[in-house]
Chains A and B, each alone.
Chain A
Amino acid sequence: MGAPTSRAAVELHGVRRTYGRGDSAVHALRGIDMALPKGTFTALMGPSGSGKSTFLQCAAGLDRPTAGSVFLGDTEITRLSERRLTELRRSRVGFVFQSFNLLPSLTVLQNVQLPQRLAGGRPDRRQAMELLARVGLADQARRRPGQLSGGQQQRVAIARALITEPEVIFADEPTGALDTGTAHEVLRLLRQAVDRFGGTVVMVTHDPVAASYADRVLFLADGALAGELYRPDPSAVADHLVALTSGREAAA
């Protein structure tokens, strides 16, 4: 098990994740080794049940691997207590989910400030407003999430993910519930977070077009790595996916 290389934002060593026990056990991840360099945008693809979401959750500290270790920067998060892990998530990681991502009881501004509030610090109003301006929602700060469209809500979620200036942003199908136009807006924002602000983004997606915004696409199948593409274009990604899926069908 190698020491973390300082250039990687996220490193996984022999990560396995098994649900259940005995005969009914499901092996979601069967031993993953990989490093995601700082300042890159990685897309994660694969057929349904390939372990994408499990990978993301283990890498982000939302779930604990059954075996193996995960490093976030220099910190081995697999050894942290739940409390320390939460604090680490709060300060060094940002999340964007497909849905259920905003608290309906808080205003847009309050939602963006939520990680800061949870950290116990004084929420920085100026910073939050700057972020809202960056995602084009400065005029919606006092509204509630229920009053916004799906795309607007997802932009608020990105602003919230960025407020703590996280080392890594994890996005789970961020465009899954959006139409093409608004999806482009969201992906542009994620791309911008990498290019202009030097962040690292890991995104799970089904959509080859969405994946084409990334620097690199990793393919997962049956809980193991099954190839990668650098500087992907949508058709190449689609081809690779089709090959993966049909290969699996042939094997079955």
Chain B
Amino acid sequence: MRSNGLARASVRFRPASFAGTFLALLFASIVVTACGLLLQAGVTASLGPVRYAGVPVVVTADQNATVVRGHGEDTERESEPLPDAARVDASLARTIAARPGVAAAVPDLAFPVQAAVPEQAAFRPQAAFPPRAAASLPGRNWSGARITSRLVQGGGPAAGQVVVEAATARAARLRVGDAIALTTPRGTRTYRVAGIAAGGGPGIWFSDAEAAALSGHQGQADAIAVFARSGVGVEQLESQVRAAVGGGAKIYTGAGRGTAEHRDLADARDLLTGLGGSFGGIATMVAVFVVLGTVALAIGQRAREIALLRAVGATPRQIRRMVATEAMIVAPIAGGVGVLPGTALATWWFDQLKHRGALPSGLHLTVGWVPPLCAVGAGLLAALAGGWAAARRPAKARPSQALGEAAVERTRPGIARTILGVGALAGALVVAQVAAGASGDQAAEAALGVVMLFMVAVAFLGPLVAAGASVLLGLPMRTAGAPGRLAAANTRVNARRLASAVTPIVLVVTFAGTLLFTQSTMRHAAAAEARDGVVADQVVSSAGPGIPYDTARRAAAVPGVRAAIGVVRTGVLYHGSDVFSDASAIGVSGDPAALPTVLDLGVVRGEVAALRPGTVALDSMVAAAAHVTVGRPIELRLGDGAKIRATVVATYRRGLGVGQVLLPHETVAGHVSAELDGQILIHDAPGADGGAVRRALSGLAPSLVVTDRRGYAAQIDRDAEVNAWVNNVMVAVLGGFAAIAAANTLVMTVLDRRREVALLRLAGTTRRQVLSMMRWEALLVTTAGLLLGAAILAVTLSPFARGTTGGAPYVPPVTALVMGVAIVAGGLAVTALPARALLRTPPATAAAARE
């Protein structure tokens, strides 16, 4: 069939009537493009080797925990990234070095070293380290120096000696033979500078034996760098290394060495694919949803035109073709225009994440053509589908029916529509209950999925819901004079139009609300638990990378200190709702009996004081997810993947704020990357002078900061800051998009009422009364949207809160108030502006105008 040019003519002649559709498609394209680019960046994220650029083959441990489930052919491998880094057996270096093609196999290990002010500072006042260098330097083993560096002065380090990198030495005015005080995980002591090395960036080298001891990872290495004999190719070397290593470790060559080197790359990939994939998926669904709704509204507003075409001989097929062609004209243009701002949004987001330290600084966003193409394609498909669905009824209807129906809406939704709507509603309720079993981020994502199902239900049942809302909310409005009565009557009769306007408002409320309030619920619960859970009199933290383990023991000996508990933070994996669920964990040193004097964990069952090596205390929700109770054993993977079995001695409530898994320090030590305590919790002796104790404590090690118990909560908040920021951007993007869609829809519905407004004015309604009527309608629309959204939020967030915090959802009153006021004010504004525009046309002209 040939094109009949109808579509082109309508788009060209009345671009205004496509403006709404165009706008919806444009913003859909922006959001989808941005998320798609982030997803692509996550999938393709790679960093070239820097440190290992001169090393042909690098061997590391597998950074995933893996289990094989099932038997025979049904085996299934499940793996999960480890909470911390796994290390490889250092003795493997000797095995590898024995292979014929290997020139050398060098264990590489790094640990945080804090350089204190050099002892000679008194004589050379300007000799302080620059602040950055003072914060933390990587300490390394001398044999690993050949990976990046060479000695330029002096000799290699013996015990008690170090080699300093040239630029670092220059900045600190260090020379061979100088003394330098260094704080390592094993404490602070003075070292003699034996030599200066160049290359590889800031760093300090210790003798191999000393480095192994100081790092706390005796017999282990972060990686093994393998050098080839001359004439041995990379492939040959790799196969020799593989033969030596067996299946026990990962072997990297070429660009893959970047993965071994940049441990934060996996997190970056996770973050980006999470943003682009999970959030992007939801955003895409919302975008499709908005486009479907907008196109349907635009087609619905042209019911008369379509009926006329049918009367003069257009077949249903031709109508559908016309609508499809219109979509084909508008969608690619709108989608194409949205690609640029979408790319800008992705770039901004990416740079901000990098700026906030959530992405490695070497990572760059590459703009591929696939995400924009997908965005344009998705917009086109959504517009086609929306047009097809919306044109189905007017295209099929008998022309006479259509000509009549345009005047008075049919309010009764079809049977299929009702069944689908009720199905989606039931699905949402069921999934909401199931999602209560998920934890953390998963639960938050599940909540978004539940909201999506509710939105589908709202879309299907919209007219029904709107009719109900108009009856309910219309009652009080009828007491508000003629404009109120008119508004009530209008909304009751035009349920479909009301539904079109209410749906996007529900969209704003539910999506922004879910993102904001899942976060606020978690943070509020964590903050409250930390506040109630930490009962220590003083909290010792470090301005540097952490506190050496022995500091806690020394703190306990400070006069006026009754108990000092060192806390090391890490994560564990356990078999919970997923094969591997992760949980935050803390290792506590000191006397377990004193634990309750610094941490009130809200013990449910058992005794925290009974914590010994081989035992564990669990947050009761972790215990429930893992199906263990007090007295039963649980299998855990520590930060580096080490498998342990521990008997549960207690369950407690305040895991979110303090730590979900409580382990003895001895169990955790040796299995974290930085063998340092995060904090020391102090219980003062009765009658002790707090100020004196504080001064004594801060002198125990360099850069210690002593605060009251709130210092613990602040630490947790800093960890959550990037998360919160990411979340807020998601709220802005999704909520903003939904808000634009809502405004767009409201403007469309108001502008469609040109004739009605003109007739009202001809019948003697004043401008003021028309505007008042519109205001009442806007009030009804926004109130209905807010109420419906709030109801959906309540049903979605309650199981979420039960599953993650064990309590009720926390909705910050100010945020909720601002959201409500903004929506009502916004609704009134976007109704008033087009209404005023309508009133500018003389009523007689508008009433006589042919549609």
Contact = CB atoms under 8 A, between A and B. Distances in A.
A17 B122 CA distance: 109
Interface in B290-324: 304-305, 308-318
B408 interface: no
B91 interface: no
A9 B511 CA distance: 62
Interface string A77-116: 0000011001101110001010111111110001000110
A206 interface: no
B314 A118 contact: yes
Interface in B1-25: 1-2, 4-6, 9-10, 12-14
Contacts of B1: 120
A89 B1 CA distance: 19
B401 A118 contact: no
B315 A144 contact: no
22 contacts: A62-B400, A63-B398, A63-B400, A82-B316, A86-B314, A90-B312, A90-B314, A100-B850, A101-B850, A103-B9, A103-B309, A104-B14, A104-B851, A105-B6, A105-B12, A115-B312, A115-B313, A117-B4, A118-B4, A118-B312, A118-B315, A119-B313
B406 to A, nearest CB: 9
A103 B308 contact: yes
Given A63-B398, A120-B2, A83 B305 contact: no
Given A63-B398, A117-B5, A145-B850, A104 B315 contact: no
B849 interface: yes
A129 B654 CA distance: 85
Contacts of B5: 110, 117
A62 B313 contact: no
Contact of A86 (B304, B310, B401, B848): B310
B224 interface: no
Contacts of A87: 313, 315
B399 interface: yes
B313 A102 contact: no
Interface string A108-137: 001000110111100000000000000000
A57 B850 contact: no
Given A86-B315, A100-B304, A118-B312, 11 more contacts: A87-B313, A87-B315, A95-B311, A100-B850, A102-B850, A104-B14, A105-B10, A105-B12, A105-B13, A115-B313, A117-B5
B13 A104 contact: yes
A64 interface: yes
B312 A106 contact: no
A160 interface: yes
A72 to B, nearest CB: 14
Given A63-B400, A102-B850, A103-B305, A160 B9 contact: no
A234 interface: no
B13 A118 contact: no
A198 B846 CA distance: 39
Contact of B317 (A83, A91, A146): A83
A100 to B, nearest CB: 6
Contacts of A105: 6, 9-10, 12-14
B850 A118 contact: no
Contact of B399 (A62, A91, A145): A62
Interface in B835-851: 848-851
B674 interface: no
A153 interface: yes
Contacts of A83: 315-317
Question: Closest 5 interchain pairs by CB?
Answer: A90-B313, A105-B13, A62-B400, A63-B400, A57-B400
B2 A89 contact: no
Contacts of B318: 118
A146 B401 CA distance: 25
Interface string A131-168: 00000000000001110001001000000100000000
Nearest to A164: B313
The prevalent SS among residues of B at the interface is helix
Interface in B402-420: 403
A146 B312 contact: no
B4 A100 contact: no
B408 to A, nearest CB: 13
Nearest to A115: B313
Interface of B: 1-2, 4-6, 9-10, 12-14, 304-305, 308-318, 396, 398-401, 403, 848-851
Interface of A: 57, 62-64, 82-83, 86-87, 89-91, 95, 97, 99-106, 110, 114-115, 117-120, 144-146, 150, 153, 160
B313 A101 contact: no
Nearest to A58: B400
Contacts of B849: 146
B314 A62 contact: no
A62 B403 CA distance: 10
A146 B851 CA distance: 9
Nearest to A83: B315
A134 B396 CA distance: 35
Contact of A118 (B9, B313, B399, B400): B313
B313 A110 contact: no
Most buried by A among B313, B314, B403: B313
Contacts of B2: 120
Contact of A106 (B9, B313, B315, B317): B9
Nearest to A54: B400
B449 to A, nearest CB: 40
Contacts of B848: 150
Contacts of B400: 57, 62-63
A27 to B, nearest CB: 17
Given A83-B316, A87-B315, A104-B14, A62 B398 contact: yes
Nearest to A56: B400
A100 B396 contact: no
Nearest to A84: B315
Given A118-B4, A120-B2, A100 B10 contact: no
A182 to B, nearest CB: 14
Nearest to A94: B312
Contacts of A62: 311, 398-400
A115 B310 CA distance: 10
A60 to B, nearest CB: 9
A188 to B, nearest CB: 23
A110 B4 CA distance: 11
Nearest to B314: A118
Contacts of A90: 312-314
A95 B308 CA distance: 10
A110 B9 contact: yes
Contacts of B312: 89-90, 95, 114-115, 118, 160
Nearest to B3: A117
A64 B398 contact: yes
A204 B14 CA distance: 33
Contacts of A153: 850
B18 to A, nearest CB: 11
Contact of B13 (A57, A86, A144): A144
A95 B1 CA distance: 24
Nearest to B395: A82
Contacts of B6: 103, 105-106, 117
Among A101, A114, A115, A146, chain B packs the most CB atoms within 10 A around the CB of A114
A72 B403 CA distance: 22
Name which of A106, A110, A118 has the most chain B CB atoms within 10 A of its CB.
Answer: A118
Nearest to A110: B9
A21 to B, nearest CB: 14
A64 B398 CA distance: 8
Scoring B2, B398, B851 by chain A CB atoms within 10 A of each residue's CB, the highest score goes to B398
Contacts of B310: 86
B313 A104 contact: no
Contacts of A104: 13-14, 850-851
A134 to B, nearest CB: 19
A64 B313 CA distance: 16
A100 B851 contact: yes
B505 to A, nearest CB: 31
B599 to A, nearest CB: 73
